[in-house]
Chain A
Amino acid sequence: MLRVIVRELRRIWLFPRYLVILTLGAVFSFVFFATVSGEGQPQELPVAVVDMDGTYLSRRLCHEIDATPAVHIKALYTNHTEARKAMQRGEVFAFYEIPEGIYNDLLQFRSPHLTLYTNQAYLLAGSLSYRQLATMGHLATGAVQREVLRKKGFKDDEIMGIIQPVALETHAVGNATGNYQIYLMTTLIPGIVALMAMLHTAYVIGRERQERTVKSWMRKAGGDAVKAMVGKALPYTLHYTLLLLVAEVVMYGPMHFPMQGNWPLLMLVSLLTVTAAQSAGCFLMGCIPDPSVAMSLTSAYGTLAFTMCGFSFPVDAMPLPMQLFSMLFPLRHYWLAMRDITLYGSGLEQCWPEVCVLAAFVLLLLIGAAMLGRQFERRVAC
């Protein structure tokens, strides 16, 4: 097997282009996600106000809305259609409509209505601005109440208890502020590295077939397809596991992402995720003789992992066949284990199923190797 590894290292040394490109690509992805969503939660989302009243009260409402950190008023309109058009142009994510005569209605106890329109076609921006603005709407009611109570002689701390009898504090486990960057990077970066490991392993196997050099490769392994496959994959296992570990060290170290659990377990899971992804690549490449067809199917399977790991849309909300299907993706198991280790501080007693399943993916490599060996004997695309 050592001879296979040496042969592979030689091939990398003579033709290092893709190793360099992919390493730079991983670094680029890391920098991209670290800088693009640096705020954690989107702040100062652009919103609009349709002020049909134009009185002291409506202007004060505008001020209060603008003072909320999550949004800022980008435009004032005088009618609904203009605001809706601005939303369709993508300029604002939400708008408030203050009806005409709100001040007079208020004075005459006619309970005027504020209306909030949010754009839910952008799920994140829509739901975050919705929460802030809906709370704002109710606080606006509170502001009017506050004036009334002040006139009645209540003190400010008493007023708060009256107009806001209950408050709700929401924290996310291990990520108290609901920081989006932490949520994204902890799944996407390992996902990208695992995808690269799988494609790269698949590619180098495909190259042997394309160049018709399977014979010399097999000879170095003494005719043992499993040895040949493992020897070929090992240099990449090392490279991509190292990349993933460096990314994790940077994320959970200097970037202060939450890390409650133990490092050795996370490292073990990372290593197993890389090998599992590689095994899946070996399997597809071993089974499908046409290397570039196999490569495109591997790509299709690889991109699906980002959906099937369940970090964006939960797997429990998918149909049952898809829930079972999600088991076939190493990233799904990485995600489950990573969540337990980093956010809940769980140990092996909680994560052992994921560790076992990831380890079992190596079976796929054996099957892939067996298929390759058989095709080699029959001289199919070798």
Chain B
Amino acid sequence: MLKHTAASLRDIWDVLTAEVRRVFSDKTTIVIFFLATAVYPPLYYYIYHQEVLTAMAVAVVDLSRSEESKRFVHKIDATPELRVAYRPPTLPQAEELLAAHKVEAVFLFPADYAERIAKRQTATVTCISDIGSFIYYKNALLAGSAVLLDEMETIQLAHQAADGLTGAAAEIQVQPVGFDDVKLFNPTGGYAQYFIPALLLLVIHQTLFFGICVLCGDANENRKALHLIPPHLRRRSIYRVTLGRLLCFLLIYIPITLFDLCLVPRLFGIPQIGSPADTILFLLPFVVSVICFAMTFGNLFSRQRMSTLLSALFFSVILFFLSGMVWPQSNMPHFWLAFSYLFPSTPGIQGFVRISSMGATLTQVRGEYLALWIQAGAYFLTACLSLRYINKYRKI
């Protein structure tokens, strides 16, 4: 019994050291594992570090030329999001500015704007926004709404004053119920704070996946899959080989993951409000399941060194979308939601973002945590089975 365990450990150790040597003697895996994980996070942080688009240029077409419309325009100019850059006299001229990308939005005040307000009818302001980038549209929408709500109160107070009601009594009439809003977890709506935690996780996921697939492809291409298995283990104890490789990648990726997901956000001032212990406990099954998933895929489908990069890179875009960070999971068709849980990135990103950006505890992400352990177990099994399969059926 003891002898058997000792032999197992010895085999696992042999595979592990052989695999470590393979990783460090391959230029491509060094580029993918170490260079990509070192360059991507700071680069993305640098790209997004301004977080928000401020002072977006807008044009105002004021056909009303009244005190009311001027006040509205003034408030638009005062928002941090928007800046009134042009005041063309007619709408077609404003649309030309929009088409030439000199402005990203146009606000139009109709000629009867002040008149309708005086008659106590609803006056309509029209905003036409560019949607090339959704941020333009979001800026126009949110800043426009904020000004609108403020202006509604001002006009109502003016009406009350005209009716002889002023001060606190008028305010109660206009706003019988006060309204506050609190933006949680990313108060400025910043892009870096939203995007980078999810992106960092995807970088870990994809570099591990492609790195392992390059190694598997190399083994498959050069028909040396058997070299991975110590001669006396052929046709049995495949699990020792898989476990040895798993430990090798785990050893390499523990420091990389800690660097990318715990140190880099701190260096660049991305708030991480979750407990570090929870973060690390959560990341462990994530890395294990990515490794096992990649080994399964690599054993079966990675026929050549470069083939997985060629055929699976476009999937990164889809993986990010499947994670539910763009389109909410609550609104995904059931089929795609189920499909998304085939990949460790989905529970990984959901759980990590909630722990790190929203301060959730491990029990609050228990669904995702469980999903990752199940994936880790299932993909470990498939990794073993796929290795057995290629050793048995492919003539190597």
Chain A interface residues toward B at CB < 8 A = 18, 21-22, 25-26, 29, 32-33, 35-39, 42-46, 84-85, 87-90, 93, 102, 106, 109, 111-127, 130-131, 134-135, 137-138, 140-141, 144-145, 148, 158, 160-175, 178, 180, 183, 188, 191-192, 195-196, 199-200, 203, 206-207, 210, 290-293, 295-297, 299-300, 302-303, 306-308, 310-314, 316-319, 322, 335, 339-340, 343-344, 346, 350
Contact = CB atoms under 8 A, between A and B. Distances in A.
Interface string B327-343: 11111110010000000
A131 B360 contact: no
Given A130-B142, A302-B313, A306-B317, A125 B172 contact: no
A171 B182 CA distance: 27
A88 B122 CA distance: 40
What is the interface residue range for chain B against chain A?
35 or more
A346 B184 contact: no
A166 B178 contact: no
A164 B122 contact: yes
A32 B318 contact: yes
Contacts of A127: 138, 141-142, 189
B211 to A, nearest CB: 9
A313 B122 contact: no
A165 B129 contact: no
Contacts of B328: 42, 45, 93, 122, 124-125
A18 B311 CA distance: 7
Contacts of B177: 102, 106, 111-114, 140-141, 144
Interface stretch (B7-15, B151-159, B251-259, B281-289): B151-159
Given A25-B311, A124-B328, A118 B184 contact: yes
B219 interface: no
B152 A170 contact: no
Contacts of A36: 321, 327, 332-333, 336
Contacts of A203: 306-307, 309-310
B134 interface: yes
A39 B331 contact: yes
A122 B325 contact: yes
12 contacts: A29-B317, A37-B331, A113-B179, A125-B328, A145-B173, A165-B156, A165-B159, A168-B126, A170-B137, A172-B128, A192-B314, A317-B53
Contact of A141 (B50, B148, B175, B314): B175
Contacts of B134: 124, 180, 183, 311-312
Contact of B133 (A161, A163, A310): A310
A45 B330 contact: yes
A138 to B, nearest CB: 6
B20 interface: no
Contacts of B214: 292, 296
B121 A166 contact: no
Interface of B: 27-28, 31-32, 36, 40, 44, 46-50, 52-54, 72, 98-100, 116-117, 119-138, 140-142, 144-145, 148-149, 151-152, 155-156, 159, 171-187, 189, 191, 193-195, 210, 214, 305-307, 309-311, 313-318, 321, 324-333, 336, 350, 353-354, 357-361, 364-365
Interface of B is mostly: helix
Contacts of A93: 328, 330
A325 to B, nearest CB: 9
A166 B148 contact: yes
Contacts of B133: 310-314
B313 A134 contact: no
B181 A162 contact: no
Contact of B136 (A43, A180, A314): A314
A162 B176 contact: no
A105 B46 CA distance: 50
B97 to A, nearest CB: 11
Contacts of B183: 117-118, 120, 126, 130
Contacts of A318: 47-48, 50
A196 B316 CA distance: 12
